[in-house]
């Protein structure tokens, strides 16, 4: 069962220009140097739609009659089909806005099951519940270029696949936009991905590249689950961001180690640090902060909102977070396998999955924070922390002031 279907986040569980001249397809490369389509003049071209006397009326018939190396060219129109591409062909639509493959809610719209396929210039719609726009399984060297994918359960799914490219695509209004499961060395570039649950989901997938993408208004922008050493660079996130998670059965540090740089969240820099120490972040106006294997950080006077998790801290110690406003995120502050950190004097409000979440994180001191309108103020799993202050402290919860002393030590003394 696909992970993205059931996940609420671990804490929630706790509380496409190809040039065509005389219909001969020539080599084209995009701004990233990626080959869009390559077809030599001695290859066959099979036409679908249009007015040619020998043109095919449906796409699958053309593919069935094609040979490796051929091109299937599809004229403008809406084709109600569920297409299987099982030959190494170049598959080209006349115009991505007007060349439409409609799955009619009957199954995966396009299923790619062969290496060395290039696909360009289509709108892929209406796979429907539990069905995929473009499914790529156990293959390599596939190029999806300049396509529009919407209204499917998942837009594009790669399973056990490597060395594939998804570029210049517009992907929106799917359950998940792009999913990589047990897939490596794939490239996603210059795509717009919006209005899905996960914009991009990587699950047990490593060494992939996500570059120059605009990712907006997803519940999670990029979700990295049990994945390692992925490159995320020069992406712009709007009202989402990056969330990194490791399996609750036992987190491991490599799942949090990636190359993440030159990204923005809501117009502000996304700050990702790994293996760093002795850094002060004081009012730097970050859009999101993620620390992995870091120590001796001071984070203060930050206002972070409308992202996946405001501040995420993994395998880190001696991190001081203070005087920050963390609001309107999925999770406010998350700690994974981190110890001897302090979270204090922060306003933490309106976070959908919780204010502060801790997983296997011990000996952290959390005090004098104001919690307001979070779905759960504190979510803790496998963690033993200090919730106290040496003097009377005022917590504000749902706009009511509650004067209280939090001294877990007292409880332990009484128990003795």
Asked if residue 149 belongs to a domain, the reply is: yes
Asked if residue 146 belongs to a domain, the reply is: yes
* pLDDT digits 0-9 by tens, 334-355: 999 999 999 999 999 999 999 9
Q: Which of 33-37, 109-113, 186-190, 359-363 has the lowest mean pLDDT?
A: 33-37
Residue 9: pLDDT band (50, 70, 90) is low
Q: Which of 1-5, 186-190, 218-222, 383-387 has the lowest mean pLDDT?
A: 1-5
pLDDT averaged over every residue in the chain? 87
Query: What local confidence, expressed as pLDDT, does residue 267 receive?
Result: 98
Query: What local confidence, expressed as pLDDT, does residue 258 receive?
Result: 99
* pLDDT digits 0-9 by tens, 78-94: 999 999 999 999 999 99
If one counts the domains in the chain, the total is 1
pLDDT (mean) for 231-235: 99
d(CA 123, CA 117): 17
Asked if residue 141 belongs to a domain, the reply is: yes
Query: What local confidence, expressed as pLDDT, does residue 383 receive?
Result: 74
Q: Which residue has the higher pLDDT, 375 or 100?
A: 100
d(CA 340, CA 317): 5
* pLDDT digits 0-9 by tens, 292-333: 999 999 999 999 999 999 999 999 999 999 999 999 999 999
We report the CATH number of the domain holding residue 122 as 2.160.20.10
Per-residue pLDDT at 182 exceeds 90: yes
Which residues are CB-neighbours of 354 under 8 A, at least 6 positions away?
11, 12, 14, 15, 331, 332, 374, 375, 376, 377, 378, 379
Asked if residue 148 belongs to a domain, the reply is: yes
d(CA 200, CA 195): 11
Query: What local confidence, expressed as pLDDT, does residue 248 receive?
Result: 60
Q: Measuring CA to CA, which residue among 266, 272, 308, 261 is closest to residue 287?
A: 266
Per-residue pLDDT at 32 exceeds 60: no
Q: Which of 31-45, 212-226, 280-294, 359-373 has the lowest mean pLDDT?
A: 31-45
Asked if residue 77 belongs to a domain, the reply is: yes
Burial zone of 138 (CB within 10 Å; 0-12 exposed, 13-18 middle, 19+ buried): middle
Q: How far is CA 141 from the centre of its chain?
A: 22
289, 308 Cβ separation under 8 angstroms: no
Asked if residue 42 belongs to a domain, the reply is: yes
Asked if residue 30 belongs to a domain, the reply is: yes
Query: What local confidence, expressed as pLDDT, does residue 11 receive?
Result: 57
338, 357 Cβ separation under 8 angstroms: no
Domain that holds residue 28: 18-161
In the chain, the percentage of residues whose pLDDT exceeds 90 is 75
Asked if residue 122 belongs to a domain, the reply is: yes
């Amino acid at each position: 069962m696909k992970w993205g279907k059931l996940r609420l986040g671990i804490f929630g569980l706790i509380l496409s220009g190809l040039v065509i001249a005389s219909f001969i397809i020539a080599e084209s490369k995009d701004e990233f140097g990626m080959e869009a389509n390559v077809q030599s003049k001695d290859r066959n071209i099979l036409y679908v739609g249009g007015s040619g006397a020998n043109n095919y009326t449906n796409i699958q018939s053309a593919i069935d009659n094609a040979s490796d190396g051929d091109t299937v060219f599809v004229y403008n129109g809406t084709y109600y089909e569920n297409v299987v591409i099982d030959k190494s062909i170049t598959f080209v639509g006349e115009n991505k806005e007007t060349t439409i493959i409609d799955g009619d809610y009957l199954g995966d719209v396009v299923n790619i099951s062969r290496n060395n396929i290039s696909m360009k210039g289509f709108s892929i719609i209406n796979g429907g519940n539990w069905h995929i726009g473009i499914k790529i399984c156990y293959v390599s060297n596939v190029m999806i270029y300049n396509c529009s994918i919407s209204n499917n359960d998942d837009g594009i799914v790669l399973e056990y696949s490597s060395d594939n490219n998804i570029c210049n695509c517009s992907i929106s209004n799917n359950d998940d936009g792009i999913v990589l499961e047990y897939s490596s060395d794939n490239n996603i570039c210059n795509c717009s991905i919006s209005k899905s649950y996960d914009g991009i989901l990587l699950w047990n997938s490593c060494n992939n590249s996500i570059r120059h993408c605009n990712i907006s208004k997803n519940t999670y922008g990029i979700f990295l689950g049990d994945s390692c050493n992925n490159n995320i660079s020069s992406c712009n996130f709007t009202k989402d961001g990056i969330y990194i998670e490791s399996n609750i059965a036992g987190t491991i540090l490599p799942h949090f180690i990636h190359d993440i740089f030159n990204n923005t969240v809501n117009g502000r820099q996304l700050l990702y640090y790994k293996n760093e120490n002795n850094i002060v972040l004081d009012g730097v106006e970050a859009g999101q902060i993620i620390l992995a294997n870091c120590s001796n950080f001071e984070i203060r006077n930050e206002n972070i909102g409308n992202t996946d998790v405001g501040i995420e801290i993994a395998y880190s110690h001696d991190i001081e977070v203070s005087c920050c406003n963390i609001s309107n995120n999925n999770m406010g502050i998350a700690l994974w396998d981190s110890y001897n950190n302090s979270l204090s004097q922060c306003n933490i409000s309106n976070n959908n999955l919780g204010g502060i979440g801790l997983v296997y994180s011990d000996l952290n001191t959390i005090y004098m924070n104001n919690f307001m309108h979070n779905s759960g103020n504190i979510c803790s799993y496998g963690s033993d922390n200090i919730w106290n202050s040496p003097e009377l402290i005022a917590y504000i919860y749902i706009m009511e002031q509650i004067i209280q002393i939090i001294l877990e030590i007292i409880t332990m003394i009484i128990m003795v």
